[in-house]
Amino acid sequence: MKLSKFELYKPALSMESPFVTSLRRVDELTPVLIKAETDKGKTGWGEAPVSPQVTGETPDSSLSVLSQLIPNLLGRDPRDREKIHAGMEEFIKGNSASKAGIDIAVHDILGKVWSVPLWKLFGGFRSSRITTDFTVSLDEPEPMGKRAAELVAEGFAELKVKLGGKLDRDIQRFENIEKATATETDFRIDANQGWTRTEASRFVKATENSSIQFLEQPLDGKDIEGMERLREASPYPIMADESVNGLKDALEVIRRGAADYINIKLSKTGGFFPASKLAALAEANHVSCMIGGMSSTGVLATAAAHFAAGVKNVRFRDLDMGTSITENVIEAGGSHLDGNHRVISGGNGLGIKEMNEEILGTPVKTYEL
């Protein structure tokens, strides 16, 4: 069996409302979607959710990198995952989202070849219906409180709250959210590297009696020492996100005792194969993980859901990706939100039965043997 064809798509997708963090504002989504085929007629889909502020990639740079990677993959056996990743790493460093798109498409193929849903392939620890939080985008205090109340009314018991602006305003934002929601709501505070060490300490002191599950990446991703000190002083666990892009980063964070948890994003690690290694490393060191993602379509959301459903050490799930996009690139299958659950459709691989060709448009590039 050989990889015989790749098609790349770059749809421009509008959003119902902007997605805002301390790192960036997303008003329109332009992902790179990858369709891979084998000489035996099996197909797979993947997504490269580009984010210049996180992985350093743009849609055009991703297409450029893929144009160099894919010719070296044509003719390869998709079952040779280690060889595929080693080849990509040897050819070009970084560009993890582009590599993740290839990896996800290859795994989608393998699930179909082996007649198994990917979440079963990854371990089958949970089920095809898993709980998730929902993210409250960075905004003014009043609309953030209103949005949080709406989500709690919809059944979400865990909210991820984006902060990382001016600290006094951040404290006001969180206070508004607490007042607007029930006391049984658990909050996951994500500053996206937006605070200094002093600001993070001040936030902890100002909120010490709150129902906060953890603080996610409060400091600059490279400030491992600061993360270590904050963890020692904080009543809340600390989660590393931008501090961990791969195994070397994870090992340093674990050795330094800089985080209680690690957020695994397929687009940061380079796909399922390296993400599995990272999850195993974390588990061996008694560090639980979360699966999350960046602004993306239902393709990546479905991929992340499969990983979360299959892997035991993925304790937390942040799987609301794609919910603010007005157009769904998946026509049938994949996954969807049902209340505070992400539900994976039946079927092998990712379980995507049909893509919306009208929204996808024509391939911007095709590669064949």
DSSP states along 242-273: TT-SSHHHHHHHHHHT--SEEEEEHHHHTSHH
Catalytic residue, candidates 35, 162, 166, 353: 162
Residue 193 to residue 241: CA distance in whole angstroms: 9
Residue 309 has pLDDT above 80, yes or no: yes
Measured distance CA(335)–CA(350) in Å, rounded: 9
Mean pLDDT of 266-295: 96
- What the block records as the tokens of 348 is 């092998």
Sequential DSSP letters for 89-100: HHH-S--HHHHH
- In this predicted structure, the answer to whether residue 18 has a pLDDT above a threshold of 70 is no
Percentage above 90 pLDDT, the chain:
87
Res 293: pLDDT: 84
Task: Please give the average per-residue pLDDT across 224-231, as a whole number.
Answer: 98
Q: Is the pLDDT of residue 164 over 90?
A: yes
Decide if 160 is catalytic. no
Distance CA 43, CA 103 (A): 13
Q: Which letter does DSSP use for residue 369 in this model?
A: -
Considering 42, 160, 265, 268, which one is annotated as catalytic?
265
- Kindly report, residue by residue over 71-120, the tens digit of the pLDDT: 999 999 999 999 999 999 999 999 999 999 999 999 999 999 999 999 99
Measured CA angle at 318 (ends 313, 322), to 5 deg: 135
Polymer length of the chain:
369
pLDDT tens digits, 54-70: 777 888 999 999 999 99
Q: What is the dihedral sign for C-alpha 247, 252, 256, 259? A: negative
Does residue 162 carry a catalytic annotation? yes
Residue 300 confidence (pLDDT): 96
Coil, helix or strand at residue 13: strand
pTM, rounded to two decimals:
0.96
Structural domains of the chain, ranges and CATH numbers in brackets:
3-114+358-368 (3.30.390.10), 120-354 (3.20.20.120)
